[in-house]
């Protein structure tokens, strides 16, 4: 699952650079607050965009067994919360869809679903932060 988060992003890196040049984006968040980016944000985002939305959908009988509705809602809201640019929103939706899938994959064990999703998200963010820190990808 962790590797899939990058398979979504890697093919589009040239588009990110182009969008950053066009939109003038130089910074997508605080570079010096690694704890927030690597630990706090993934846990809070998993709580809101996967756990919370899944719980809401479980209470709505019309969509209880239609997991694709949960995944799309989760993905779109996750993407919209990453409003640095249109490109980040699009990639946020793609990654949010994957995080939603991970959560749904383990949904029969809610604790495992939550922590697996949060861990994959933490690993993804930690790799991204390290690449940014060492100037491997554009700041």
Task: Report which of 101, 111, 123 is spatially closest to residue 37, judged by C-alpha positions.
Answer: 123
Q: How many residues does the chain have?
A: 139
Against a cut of 0.85, is the pTM above it? Answer: no
H-helix segments, 10-109: 13-23, 34-35, 41-45, 53-59, 67-80, 86-105
Q: What is the pLDDT of residues 51-91, one digit of tens each?
A: 999 999 888 877 767 888 899 999 999 999 988 778 788 88
Other beta carbons within 10 Å of 39: 14
Q: What is the pLDDT of residues 83-122, one digit of tens each?
A: 877 878 888 999 999 999 999 999 999 999 999 999 999 9
Q: Are 50 and 114 in contact (CB under 8 A)?
A: yes
More confident residue, 72 or 26: 72
Task: Report residue 20's pLDDT band, with 50, 70 and 90 as the boundaries.
Answer: low
Residue 24 in 3-state DSSP? coil
Expressed in percent and rounded to 5, the helix, strand and coil fractions of the chain are: 80, 0, 20
Q: Are 139 and 29 in contact (CB under 8 A)?
A: no
Residue 21 has pLDDT above 80, yes or no: no
């Amino acid at each position: 699952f962790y590797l899939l988060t990058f398979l979504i992003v890697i093919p589009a890196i040239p588009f990110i650079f182009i969008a950053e040049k066009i939109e003038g984006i130089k910074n997508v968040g605080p570079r010096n607050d690694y704890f927030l980016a690597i630990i706090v944000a993934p846990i809070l985002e998993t709580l809101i965009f996967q756990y919370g939305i899944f719980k809401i959908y479980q209470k709505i009988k019309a969509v209880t067994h239609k997991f694709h509705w949960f995944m799309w809602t989760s993905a779109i809201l996750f993407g919209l919360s990453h409003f640095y640019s249109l490109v980040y929103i699009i990639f946020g939706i793609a990654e949010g869809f994957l995080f939603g899938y991970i959560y749904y994959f383990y949904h029969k064990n809610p604790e495992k679903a939550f922590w697996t999703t949060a861990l994959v998200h933490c690993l993804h963010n930690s790799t991204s932060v390290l690449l940014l820190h060492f100037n491997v990808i554009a700041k």
